Amino acid sequence: MSLSDPITVLSGVGAKRAEGLEALGIKTVGDVLFYFPFRYDDLQERDLESAVDGEKITIKGTVVADPVVSRFGPRKTRVNIRLRVENVVVMVTFFNQPWLKDKFHADQQAAVYGKWEASRASMVGMRVLATQDEDSPSLAAIYPLSQSVHQKFLVGLIKEAFEKYGDQIESVVPAAIRTHFRLLEDKQLVAWMHFPETPQQAQLARRSAIFREFFLFEAKLQMIKHRDTAPAAGLSIPFDNERLKSFISTLSFELTNAQKRVVNEICADMRSERHMNRLLQGDVGSGKTIVAAICMYAAVTANFQAALMVPTEVLAEQHYQKLHKLFEPLPVHVSILTSSAKPAGRRAILADLASGETDIIIGTHALIQKDVNFANLGLAIIDEQHRFGVGQREILRSKGLKPDVLAMTATPIPRTLAITAYGEMDVSTIDELPAGRKPVQTTWVHKNEFGRVADQIKSEAHTGGQTFVITPLIAESEKVDLQNAESVFADLKQRLGANVSVALLHGQMKTEEKEDIMTAFSAGKIDVLVSTTVIEVGVDVPNATMMVILDADRFGLAQLHQLRGRVGRGSKAARCILVADPSTDTGISRMDVMTSTNDGFVVAQKDLELRGQGDIFGAKQSGMPDFRLGDPVGDFNILDAAQRSASELFTLDPDLNQADNQALRRALSATAVAAAGLN
């Protein structure tokens, strides 16, 4: 008998029910015990005096008269029950449950739970409670359900599982840590999560369960980290330092101190036999690309290949052009692979890669297709890594003999939160912009001032500056995005006159078309580029001095910061104009944040605050792992404590040999990495 027994060992679970439960992620007895409620209904009777409008409460009283069912609209019904509670008559309405009529009879006692409307002394009923049953719990756990799995059935199942298997639940958080943070043992935690007698019990159980969830996640990350950093777990890349230095001395600019520092950190990792799993963070325009180029060259001097994977074709092409030029004087063969490569060309690219003819390859996720083979991949770099899952990172890694991995991101996750998403990685940060950069001046104007903005774009063009105009984002439909872009393009052309050259760029264009336009814009042949957000990440045109973002309030802060980062990348002063009539407070706050700071870390922090608790889970692109109970922002203190505890524990006992850590060891090996949310 163990918690991994299939759920079908419990009463009433046949094949069909098992299927329904599986859809909820419940396959074993252990799964159902750890299938937690998302809220509790307070079934303890309340006096009306203390109830606030909109609160969900339980009331008990005498039914005044037999209820009647009334119908309204097609198929809609309402049962009205008048209930005398002390000396108030409360009207309780149940919608669309006509059968409830038979549950209430004049002069009988009744108890209902529902939403209180203070001004009308009425209630929208949510459930009918038994009045006699003294044993019924005062807090009822409410679970996420599905069509085939109902509340009552699930509660019964959990009760049975707990009675039969409760003693099998062992605590995975070691006792010393539990004591230190005053957390419940797992058996108690499970009991109080499902059947609390008081709100305090429910609260304590929840806190313990969140800690447990975070702790398991962090422990798994620590386990990967220790696996990867064990001596001889990785590849040693004995690069030629002299060649590297002379390459750096040929660059057209001096590296910033921060760039030098991170190059040293990365190169030290590459030389060591430990596996490198490092994150390179740096604000927009801080110069990550050249750092990547230097490290890739280092790998090449040791006769290894290097790959750079980027999220878009536009970016792949841009990096390819740059690196190709950079390495032209050297015997370094740079190649590019995207999904738009023609079959014959693709075959040749793959052959060169497999034979070792190619030293450096740039590509989109075309690089992780099955038929892509490397001769000896030593370094895999992943740009804008939040767009790729950990799984994709692992696939690229699997294409070499444990190649070192460097992930680069310009989307700064606040330092504090980075530990959750990148806990298994070492972090290098470029915290300095190249000398001579001037902060981008950001202003916010209303839509009716667009005429003036157009005038500014015109005068910018006359003085040799180039402008990006980003058209509104309507996430639901690319077609509408395109229509928008086209109409903005037509409008601007007319306003700016024949002397200003305007071009349009959007996601549905052919790759070659996009490339041609980007090349022309980079070369200064186009003054104004009207674009959808395809240029959002990574595009580098140092001569661009003005960024205009239409309907800016529709974009998230991180995205606005990314877009703004496309200008101010050279020594010229640059401006960003946000055009928006925000209709919500969040929209207004976004405009305020953007006009008050240029610092990506501050923007990221504000972004999380504005998003608020709850919908962070929707923010997949921010690279945050998905937790079932805990919220990395709202429960940050717990997360922080769990991370520290896990890291300390692995420092002291990396192989989990101590007696106290055996349950944790079993939990980690049972579910292994698959269950760590490391999708």
Ligand X SMILES: Nc1ncnc2c1ncn2[C@@H]1O[C@H](COP(=O)(O)OP(=O)(O)OP(=O)(O)O)[C@@H](O)[C@H]1O
Hey, what amino acid is at 585? D
Q: Choose one: 249-257, 263-271, 492-500, 606-614; the region binding ligand X (CB under 6 A).
A: 249-257
First to last CA, the chain: 30
C-alpha to C-alpha distance for 675 and 668, rounded to whole angstroms: 9
Q: Give all strands (DSSP E) within 471-603, no chain letters.
A: 502-505, 528-531, 544-550, 575-579
Residue 644, CB-side half-sphere exposure with 13 Å CA sphere: 9
Asked if 378 touches ligand X (CB under 6 A), the answer is no
Q: Give all strands (DSSP E) within 353-438, no chain letters.
A: 360-363, 377-383, 404-409, 426-430
C-alpha to C-alpha distance for 636 and 625, rounded to whole angstroms: 14
Listed in sequence order, the residues at least 6 apart from 390 whose beta carbon sits closer than 8 Å to its beta carbon are 678, 679
Nearer to ligand X, 69 or 248 (CB): 248
Nearer to ligand X, 377 or 541 (CB): 541
Among 20, 156, 542, 654, binds ligand X (CB under 6 A): 542
Q: Choose one: 117-125, 279-287, 492-500, 575-583; the region binding ligand X (CB under 6 A).
A: 279-287
Q: Which residue has the tokens 């008998």?
A: 1
Q: What is the DSSP string of 145-163?
A: -BTTB-HHHHHHHHHHHHH
Among 30, 114, 287, 400, binds ligand X (CB under 6 A): 287
Q: Are 27 and 6 in contact (CB under 8 A)?
A: yes
Q: Are 185 and 193 in contact (CB under 8 A)?
A: no
Least distance in Å: CB of 286 to ligand X? 4
Least distance in Å: CB of 411 to ligand X? 9
Among 253, 581, 621, 644, binds ligand X (CB under 6 A): 253
Q: Are 445 and 452 in contact (CB under 8 A)?
A: yes
Nearer to ligand X, 443 or 543 (CB): 543
Least distance in Å: CB of 600 to ligand X? 9
Among 28, 256, 466, 661, binds ligand X (CB under 6 A): 256
Nearer to ligand X, 411 or 484 (CB): 411
Which residue is closest to ligand X by CB? 287
Tokens linked to 647: 């890291």
Least distance in Å: CB of 285 to ligand X? 5
Sheet containing strand 502-505, edge to edge, reads: 441-445, 575-579, 544-550, 466-470, 528-531, 502-505
Nearer to ligand X, 542 or 634 (CB): 542
Among 410, 425, 563, 638, binds ligand X (CB under 6 A): 410
Among 110, 244, 270, 290, binds ligand X (CB under 6 A): 290
Nearer to ligand X, 282 or 400 (CB): 282
Nearer to ligand X, 152 or 245 (CB): 245
Asked if 604 touches ligand X (CB under 6 A), the answer is no
Nearer to ligand X, 285 or 630 (CB): 285
Residues belonging to the chain: 679
Least distance in Å: CB of 256 to ligand X? 5
Q: Choose one: 113-121, 254-262, 329-337, 443-451; the region binding ligand X (CB under 6 A).
A: 254-262
Nearest 5°: phi and psi at 506? -150, 165
Tokens linked to 575: 């401006």
Asked if 293 touches ligand X (CB under 6 A), the answer is no
Least distance in Å: CB of 202 to ligand X? 45
C-alpha to C-alpha distance for 211 and 366, rounded to whole angstroms: 39
Least distance in Å: CB of 435 to ligand X? 6
Asked if 289 touches ligand X (CB under 6 A), the answer is yes
Nearer to ligand X, 389 or 542 (CB): 542
Contact set for ligand X, span 563-592 (CB under 6 A): 565, 569
Rg (CA), the chain: 31
For residue 513, count other CB atoms closer than 10 A to its CB: 13
Nearer to ligand X, 256 or 312 (CB): 256
Least distance in Å: CB of 431 to ligand X? 12
C-alpha to C-alpha distance for 208 and 201, rounded to whole angstroms: 11
Least distance in Å: CB of 334 to ligand X? 16
Number of residues this chain uses to bind ligand X (CB under 6 A) = 19
Among 37, 234, 285, 412, binds ligand X (CB under 6 A): 285
Least distance in Å: CB of 542 to ligand X? 5
Q: Per-residue x/- mask for ligand X, residues 417 to 456, rule CB under 6 A? A: -----------------x----------------------
Least distance in Å: CB of 403 to ligand X? 21
Least distance in Å: CB of 289 to ligand X? 3
> Residue 629: is it exposed, middle or buried by C-beta count within 10 angstroms (0-12/13-18/19+)?
middle
For residue 554, count other CB atoms closer than 10 A to its CB: 17
Among 129, 255, 348, 520, binds ligand X (CB under 6 A): 255
Asked if 259 touches ligand X (CB under 6 A), the answer is yes
Q: Per-residue x/- mask for ligand X, residues 522 to 541, rule CB under 6 A? A: ----------------x-x-
Nearer to ligand X, 18 or 255 (CB): 255
C-alpha to C-alpha distance for 192 and 119, rounded to whole angstroms: 36
- Classified as helix, coil or strand, 215 is helix
Nearest 5°: phi and psi at 149? -115, 115
Nearer to ligand X, 212 or 437 (CB): 437
Listed in sequence order, the residues at least 6 apart from 436 whose beta carbon sits closer than 8 Å to its beta carbon are 571
- 3-state SS, 219-276, equals HHHHHHHHHHHCCCCCCCCCCCHHHHHHHHHCCCCCCCHHHHHHHHHHHHHHHCCCCC
Nearer to ligand X, 174 or 287 (CB): 287
Positions that interact with ligand X (CB under 6 A): 253, 255-256, 259, 282, 284-290, 410, 434, 538, 540, 542, 565, 569
